[in-house]
């Protein structure tokens, strides 16, 4: 999960002078926007590269996918 949160911080909260909480609640908050890259409720495409590898290695993969799908402003693309 450490690598997952590092990736989220580098891609979705770029430019902030603080780090997000490293838990799924904080990840969910980032998806709403307003934390550096996307505006609140901005529509965007979230491309998850090598998602099959992540699925086999991340303990909370299914929970992460469900959290993302709850956000109508996000078009999730698994590659």
Cα–Cα–Cα angle for 70, 8, 27, nearest 5°? 40
Alpha helix stretches (DSSP H) within 1-79: 2-12, 24-32, 51-57, 61-69
pLDDT category of residue 64 using cuts at 50, 70 and 90 = very high
- pTM across the whole model: 0.89
Q: What is the mean pLDDT of residues 7-19?
A: 84
Mean pLDDT taken over the chain? 92
List the chain domain ranges: 2-78
Which CATH architecture does the domain made up of 2-78 adopt? 2-Layer Sandwich (3.30)
User: 25-60, pLDDT tens digit by residue?
Assistant: 999 999 999 887 889 989 999 999 999 999 999 999
């Amino acid at each position: 999960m450490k690598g997952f949160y590092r990736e989220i911080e580098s891609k979705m909260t770029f430019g902030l002078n603080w780090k997000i909480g490293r838990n799924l609640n904080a990840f969910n908050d980032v998806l709403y926007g307003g934390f550096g890259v996307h505006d609140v409720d901005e529509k965007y495409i979230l491309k998850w590269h090598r998602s099959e590898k992540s699925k086999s290695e991340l303990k909370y993969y299914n929970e992460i996918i469900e959290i993302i799908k709850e956000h109508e402003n996000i078009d999730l693309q698994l590659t």
